[in-house]
Structure 1
Amino acid sequence: MSDVRELLGRAAEDAGRPVISTEAVYAEAARVRWRRRAGISAAAVCTVAAGAFVVPGLSSGPATQDSSVAAPTELVGNSGRARDLGRLLPKGVGAVEQVSLAVLIKHATPEQAEEHPVGPLDGQYSVRRGGGVGYLTVDTRTAKKLDAKLGGAPRDTDLCKDRPGEPAPADCVREELPGGRVLTIWSDAMNYGGVTPEWGPELVGRLMLEDGSMLGIRDSTGFEADTAQGPLLKTPPLTRAQLRTLILSPELLRKK
């Protein structure tokens, strides 16, 4: 579900400064997927649902003030957000630190890594366990910014349904929850080949809220590149059940 991250990067509103987006971090995989598939009617929905998380850097799309971006280098490490997130995770998950994927992969500067988080724990976090390094990325989108990204497509498209030329994500489960919330969790093998960095398999969660906003979490085994912090984890940092528990935690929701 990574085929239009590039397009979403271009669609970002101009905030007057250059940035690196996570769309750019995943751009090579996006281009490979784009060449392989013709249909993109729901691809934008799935990309945003997966959390086309904006992080700082040098993409073609400028920053949006309403998007969460990665931590500046001086905040990377055992930050307050990392500690707060760690308290929500089950024992044995691993050591959690706040990181910047743009700094790690795109060599962004601290200025390019300025933060504009929407949710209280929005950000990117490394998870070290058993000699490997995976990542959790938390991103909140308001209804206004989500609509801008989707370009008029429905916010709550059922991602678990096949479409012509566009199969549903693997292991996709959609739940309708009390209060008008809709939770979707799926798997992405990220096996696009021939791209740098090479991302490992991941789980992705999308929680649509009754006010039209969205909370997305990526639960990644990590990436392989010269700048990698360590080998891939054998499995994502969180199991599917643990990811579900985390994304439903009220501590992740923005205050109204």
Structure 2
Amino acid sequence: MHEVTLTKEVGWRSSQLTGKGIGPYDGDYAVTREGGVGYITVRLRNHAQFSGLSSCPKRPDLERMADCTSEKVPGVGTLSIWRVPTNKGVPPSANSSRESAIRSPSYSRLETRVVREDGTTLRIVVYAGIRVAGKQKPPLKTFPLTRNQLRQLALNPALLP
């Protein structure tokens, strides 16, 4: 595993979700295994940037969200994990941002969000691979992390400042 910059690696434009957060391990990481490449993004944000989020979000750009689970973790906050299936051939909705439109042909991904009791929000996205014209690398056969590993990572206090 090594740190990369997805805005350079796959051509995504910079945005609130791709920029550096406030956590010591915020960034994008490539995981190479068995000839494929997957990605993990980690972002910790202050409460003002993600206020009003629900446990299992229902947004137009995540309409294909599946398997959402949410739990209250004592002394931490609310942890939610969901999967977004592959969107092959599904055009982005008219309300999608440019980043969502670029991501729409991506391989499926796992996402987690921890809304902490102090108002900070940790978001981790795990991609088996990413398809972008001209920048595609072979995907991993499975996600770089299992749901349980993603949960453990999201609750790791080392990700906090």
TM range (shorter): 0.7 to 0.9
Q: C-alpha distance in 2, partners of 1:250/1:145? A: 21
Larger Rg: 1
The TM-score normalised by the length of structure 2 is 0.78
Closer, same or farther: CA 131–141 of 1 in aligned 2, 3 Å: same
What is the aligned counterpart of 1:179 among 75, 83, 93?
75
Percent pairwise identity: 38
Q: Which one has more relative contact order, counting CA pairs under 8 Å at least 6 apart? A: 2
Number of residue pairs matched by the alignment? 142
Closer, same or farther: CA 107–218 of 1 in aligned 2, 3 Å: closer
- Contact 2:29-2:39 at 8 Å conserved across structures: yes
**What SS class does the counterpart of residue 67 from structure 2 fall into?**
strand
**What SS class does the counterpart of residue 179 from structure 1 fall into?**
coil
**C-alpha displacement at 1:172, in angstroms?**
0.9
**What SS class does the counterpart of residue 241 from structure 1 fall into?**
helix
Per the alignment, residue 202 of structure 1 pairs with: 109
**C-alpha displacement at 1:140, in angstroms?**
0.8
5+ residue gaps, structure 1, are: 1-95, 109-114, 148-153
Amino acid at match of 2:56: L
1:243 and 2:150 matched: yes
**What SS class does the counterpart of residue 251 from structure 1 fall into?**
helix
What is the aligned counterpart of 1:234 among 141, 145, 149?
141
- Give the helix-richer structure, 1 or 2: 1
1:139 and 2:27 matched: no
The TM-score normalised by the length of structure 1 is 0.50
Q: C-alpha distance in 2, partners of 1:116/1:220? A: 19
Per the alignment, residue 123 of structure 1 pairs with: 27
Q: C-alpha distance in 1, partners of 2:119/2:44? A: 11
- Give the strand-richer structure, 1 or 2: 2
Q: C-alpha distance in 1, partners of 2:45/2:84? A: 21
Amino acid at match of 1:220: Y
CA distances 1:125-180 after superposition (whole Å, capped 9, x unpaired): 10000100000000011012223xxxxxx23x1317x79xx968311111111025
Say what the alpha-carbon RMSD is for the aligned residues: 2.5
